[in-house]
Chains A and B, each alone.
Chain A
């Protein structure tokens, strides 16, 4: 009833005005909704104290040749391995192997002058289990969960994992001290 009266008197102007108010109010409500939702979603991201734990220092000189030390960084295990000359030769020989899923040379996975030290995050790139050293077909790590084989440079060679064991960002500070993260 009221609507027909408005249309008779004012033509289409009022309808346009009403549409504008509808759209503007709707857009404001959506904008407000997003603004309310964002802090509720963002609170689940890592908290400041969690982020504060993002770097650690470690003296790799403590690791004997042929030994592997597992340290914890950001709640994840990090393998620090002091490789033997034979292992390094083995890794370099496989630099151009055909079965590398993510081709990388051994040199790209270590720091110059410290080729014997391999630092990788010890969590399988498939679904995050911890691979064990000395098992598997390539002399490196083997993941017991779903059967991924890594070589002595931590490169994926066989199995469901898509990527090489991740080399974290790290740098040598003084001597054999490294800072991860």
Chain B
């Protein structure tokens, strides 16, 4: 795709003048005419949706910062003032707060799509890794932002999460004090969290630019998962505009309908009532839970009986994504042609959702109410503790055992030679295709 030749022809004198000095119009025009695999389905529209989410968060965030006061004495009141007195402040804040949830919903779908269609495999490892960097920055930014309203959940969430760092042997305690700027979460902490919460989205923006640069260097993956040979470009590719601007646009409209449903009809459904109580350092809420999008990782943290071990497992569950391209031994990208792997993938999605569910429950609560159970090591078998451990075991097994082994053992289905082939000649034609030789590049 990098060889994509520019078709832009400057027409007016101004355009010609600009094109020889700063070819920015050419850059945009080339971007829009980029040859794109014609079989991209709606799962591929989440990239565009995510770009929109980032813009929404930055725009609403800048506006909120005009009214917010990052001081422990005034933060809660300033947020309430935004909600009650600032013109349209309630709308802007609800868009920002629910926007975070929508952002994570979209990013999880985007990542699972990449996992399913093997979008992380050669030559696209850098796109995937940069995506993981963005995901990690998103988690950090969301956490910092959640602290700002200085409600009970803000305060105690910050307490619990920063304490995770204190679990690191030897350096944990000094790093913890350095991070908080004092022996406890206080004004210094709130101030720096605000500063960093404002900064990180722009860092994310920068990494998104790199993510797209890598994407346009190695080319878009597609549901069939084959690299499109140069001679097939004319038949298997269409220009990004108007084909995918329209498709992305339609998906964005549907996504914004869901977004609006939350903002206008249930703006607090994804939050916690406790965060409308001002932070009280002398009283912990009865049931601390993070926002829904962090629950799977929170569940993994709680599944490990050792404090430091839990922290390692939690960060490991995100860290493993970075080395995913080298854990998958299969040369076939798309799981469309990997029926065994597809089954494991569907279980993985179920387990991910299940971990999220477990993260919101009390560890000692019964999974099946009333079912007889017995004590296994340190908890009842019929408890969320053990269900979480089962799911956690699968989560890690998926990456470290299933992906490497299945890739070596499975027999993939025949892969079509081009995007058009299965469509134009019917499924029978695929029987004659050269089996499962996914091309390697570089």
Contact = CB atoms under 8 A, between A and B. Distances in A.
A76 B284 contact: no
B363 interface: yes
A50 B189 CA distance: 12
A107 B338 CA distance: 65
Interface string A109-148: 0000000000000000011111000000000000011110
Contact of A147 (B182, B284, B310, B364): B364
A127 B184 CA distance: 12
Nearest to B176: A128
B363 A44 contact: no
A77 B284 CA distance: 11
Contacts of B181: 44-47, 50
A128 B160 contact: yes
Contacts of B159: 127-129
A162 interface: yes
Contacts of B156: 129
Interface in A146-177: 146-147, 160-162
A44 B178 contact: yes
B179 A44 contact: yes
A54 B182 CA distance: 10
B282 A72 contact: yes
Nearest to A122: B282
Interface string B73-90: 000000000000000000
Contacts of B288: 129, 145
Given A47-B181, A50-B188, A75-B281, A144 B286 contact: yes
Interface string B273-311: 000000001111011100000000000001001110010
A70 interface: yes
Nearest to B160: A127
Given A75-B183, A147-B363, A46 B282 contact: no
A115 to B, nearest CB: 26
Nearest to B186: A75
B282 A146 contact: no
A129 to B, nearest CB: 4
A45 B284 contact: no
A77 B307 contact: no
B39 to A, nearest CB: 48
Nearest to A75: B184
Contacts of A41: 178
Q: Most B CB atoms within 10 A — which of A41, A47, A146?
A: A146
A161 B307 contact: yes
Interface string A73-103: 0111100000000000000000000000000
Contact of B177 (A45, A72, A146): A45
Contacts of A74: 182-184
A82 B155 CA distance: 29
Contacts of A130: 282-284
Interface of B: 156, 159-160, 163-164, 177-179, 181-186, 188, 192, 281-284, 286-288, 302, 305-307, 310, 363-364
| 10 nearest A-B pairs in the assembled complex, by CB-CB distance | A75-B184, A74-B183, A127-B160, A129-B284, A127-B163, A128-B163, A50-B182, A130-B284, A128-B159, A46-B182
Given A47-B181, A74-B182, A75-B184, 17 more contacts: A41-B178, A46-B177, A46-B183, A47-B182, A72-B282, A75-B182, A75-B185, A75-B281, A127-B307, A129-B159, A129-B160, A129-B284, A144-B286, A145-B288, A147-B364, A161-B307, A162-B306
